[in-house]
Amino acid sequence: MTPVRLADVEVGTELPEQTSRITRADLVRYAGASGDFNVIHWNERVAVEVGLPGVIAHGMLTAGIAARAVTQWAGDPGAVVDYQVRFSRPVVVPDDDAGAELTVRGRVAALLEDGRVRVDLAVTSGGEKVLSLARAVIALS
Protein backbone atom coordinates (compact mmCIF):
# COMPACT_ATOMS: atom_id res chain seq x y z
CA MET A 1 0.00 0.00 0.00
CA THR A 2 1.20 3.50 -0.77
CA PRO A 3 2.07 5.50 2.36
CA VAL A 4 -0.39 8.25 3.26
CA ARG A 5 1.06 11.75 2.96
CA LEU A 6 0.40 14.43 5.54
CA ALA A 7 -0.73 16.80 2.77
CA ASP A 8 -3.60 14.38 1.96
CA VAL A 9 -4.92 14.16 5.52
CA GLU A 10 -7.21 16.42 7.52
CA VAL A 11 -9.24 16.06 10.69
CA GLY A 12 -12.16 13.80 9.83
CA THR A 13 -10.30 11.76 7.20
CA GLU A 14 -11.68 8.23 7.48
CA LEU A 15 -9.62 5.07 7.26
CA PRO A 16 -11.02 2.26 5.13
CA GLU A 17 -13.25 0.04 7.26
CA GLN A 18 -11.77 -3.40 7.87
CA THR A 19 -13.69 -6.50 8.84
CA SER A 20 -11.89 -9.61 10.05
CA ARG A 21 -13.01 -13.01 11.26
CA ILE A 22 -11.57 -14.71 14.32
CA THR A 23 -12.15 -18.45 14.55
CA ARG A 24 -11.23 -21.01 17.18
CA ALA A 25 -8.42 -22.14 14.87
CA ASP A 26 -7.06 -18.56 14.97
CA LEU A 27 -7.09 -18.73 18.77
CA VAL A 28 -5.05 -21.95 18.68
CA ARG A 29 -2.52 -20.38 16.31
CA TYR A 30 -2.29 -17.22 18.41
CA ALA A 31 -1.83 -19.22 21.60
CA GLY A 32 1.07 -21.07 20.01
CA ALA A 33 2.69 -17.88 18.77
CA SER A 34 2.20 -15.91 21.99
CA GLY A 35 2.55 -18.66 24.56
CA ASP A 36 -0.81 -17.65 26.09
CA PHE A 37 -2.60 -20.96 26.59
CA ASN A 38 -5.09 -19.65 29.15
CA VAL A 39 -8.00 -22.08 29.21
CA ILE A 40 -10.61 -19.33 28.64
CA HIS A 41 -9.33 -19.08 25.08
CA TRP A 42 -10.16 -22.67 24.16
CA ASN A 43 -12.44 -24.39 26.73
CA GLU A 44 -16.11 -23.40 26.66
CA ARG A 45 -16.98 -25.09 29.97
CA VAL A 46 -14.25 -23.33 31.92
CA ALA A 47 -14.90 -19.97 30.26
CA VAL A 48 -18.57 -20.13 31.28
CA GLU A 49 -17.69 -21.34 34.80
CA VAL A 50 -15.58 -18.22 35.39
CA GLY A 51 -18.42 -15.97 34.24
CA LEU A 52 -17.58 -15.37 30.61
CA PRO A 53 -20.21 -15.74 27.88
CA GLY A 54 -18.03 -18.36 26.16
CA VAL A 55 -14.54 -18.81 24.76
CA ILE A 56 -13.00 -15.39 24.15
CA ALA A 57 -10.30 -14.10 21.85
CA HIS A 58 -6.99 -13.01 23.34
CA GLY A 59 -7.08 -9.29 24.05
CA MET A 60 -3.75 -8.72 22.36
CA LEU A 61 -4.99 -10.53 19.25
CA THR A 62 -7.94 -8.14 19.12
CA ALA A 63 -5.66 -5.14 19.64
CA GLY A 64 -3.30 -6.41 16.94
CA ILE A 65 -6.08 -6.77 14.40
CA ALA A 66 -7.17 -3.20 15.15
CA ALA A 67 -3.58 -1.97 14.77
CA ARG A 68 -3.36 -3.64 11.37
CA ALA A 69 -6.08 -1.29 10.08
CA VAL A 70 -3.88 1.66 11.06
CA THR A 71 -0.63 0.27 9.67
CA GLN A 72 -2.25 -0.64 6.37
CA TRP A 73 -3.70 2.85 6.06
CA ALA A 74 -0.39 4.50 6.98
CA GLY A 75 1.45 2.25 4.54
CA ASP A 76 4.33 1.76 6.97
CA PRO A 77 4.12 -0.10 10.32
CA GLY A 78 7.15 1.93 11.45
CA ALA A 79 5.09 5.12 11.20
CA VAL A 80 3.12 4.17 14.33
CA VAL A 81 4.75 6.05 17.21
CA ASP A 82 2.09 5.35 19.85
CA TYR A 83 -0.78 2.89 20.11
CA GLN A 84 -3.10 2.27 23.02
CA VAL A 85 -6.39 0.56 23.75
CA ARG A 86 -8.55 -0.37 26.70
CA PHE A 87 -10.42 -3.64 26.64
CA SER A 88 -14.12 -2.92 27.25
CA ARG A 89 -15.79 -6.19 26.25
CA PRO A 90 -14.49 -9.62 25.27
CA VAL A 91 -14.74 -10.93 21.72
CA VAL A 92 -16.71 -14.18 22.07
CA VAL A 93 -15.61 -16.74 19.49
CA PRO A 94 -18.27 -19.38 18.77
CA ASP A 95 -17.31 -22.96 17.99
CA ASP A 96 -18.36 -22.89 14.33
CA ASP A 97 -16.81 -22.20 10.95
CA ALA A 98 -17.81 -18.51 10.96
CA GLY A 99 -16.22 -17.46 14.24
CA ALA A 100 -16.55 -13.87 15.42
CA GLU A 101 -16.52 -10.79 13.22
CA LEU A 102 -14.35 -7.84 14.24
CA THR A 103 -14.94 -4.49 12.55
CA VAL A 104 -12.43 -1.65 12.75
CA ARG A 105 -13.30 1.91 11.74
CA GLY A 106 -10.99 4.86 12.17
CA ARG A 107 -10.74 8.54 11.54
CA VAL A 108 -8.13 11.23 11.94
CA ALA A 109 -9.07 13.04 15.15
CA ALA A 110 -6.20 15.53 15.41
CA LEU A 111 -3.29 16.96 13.48
CA LEU A 112 -0.35 17.12 15.87
CA GLU A 113 3.05 18.76 15.58
CA ASP A 114 5.96 17.40 13.59
CA GLY A 115 3.81 15.71 10.93
CA ARG A 116 2.00 13.41 13.34
CA VAL A 117 -1.71 12.64 13.37
CA ARG A 118 -3.90 10.99 15.96
CA VAL A 119 -6.24 8.32 14.68
CA ASP A 120 -9.18 7.26 16.84
CA LEU A 121 -10.57 3.77 16.29
CA ALA A 122 -14.00 2.24 16.80
CA VAL A 123 -13.65 -1.53 17.19
CA THR A 124 -16.77 -3.67 17.41
CA SER A 125 -17.82 -7.30 17.42
CA GLY A 126 -21.43 -8.36 17.12
CA GLY A 127 -22.42 -4.69 17.16
CA GLU A 128 -20.79 -4.15 20.56
CA LYS A 129 -17.78 -1.95 21.25
CA VAL A 130 -14.89 -4.22 22.32
CA LEU A 131 -12.06 -1.67 22.60
CA SER A 132 -12.37 1.71 24.29
CA LEU A 133 -10.07 4.70 23.89
CA ALA A 134 -8.39 2.95 20.98
CA ARG A 135 -6.04 5.38 19.31
CA ALA A 136 -2.78 5.61 17.47
CA VAL A 137 -0.33 8.39 16.73
CA ILE A 138 1.17 8.16 13.25
CA ALA A 139 4.18 10.04 11.87
CA LEU A 140 3.42 10.94 8.26
CA SER A 141 5.80 12.41 5.70
Report which of 124, 96, 92, 119 is spatially closest to residue 108, judged by C-alpha positions.
119
Question: What per-residue confidence (pLDDT) applies to 129?
Answer: 98
- Domain 6-21+57-139, CATH class in plain words: alpha beta
Domain assignments of the chain as residue spans, ordered by start: 6-21+57-139
pTM over 0.95: no
Sequence-ordered list of residues with C-beta below 8 angstroms from that of 69, at least 6 positions apart, any chain: 15, 16, 18, 104, 106, 121
The count of C-alpha atoms lying within 13 angstroms of the C-alpha of 79, restricted to the half-sphere facing its C-beta, is: 25
Instruction: Compute mean pLDDT per 10 residues along the chain, 141 residues long, and list them.
Output: 84 97 97 97 97 97 97 94 98 97 98 95 97 96 81
Q: How far apart are CA 38 and CA 3, in angstroms?
A: 37
pLDDT of residue 1: 65
* Whole-number pLDDT of residue 2: 77
* Short-list 44, 66, 71, 46, CA closest to 55: 44
pLDDT for residue 6: 81
**Which of 85, 49, 91 shows the shortest CA–CA distance to 67?**
85
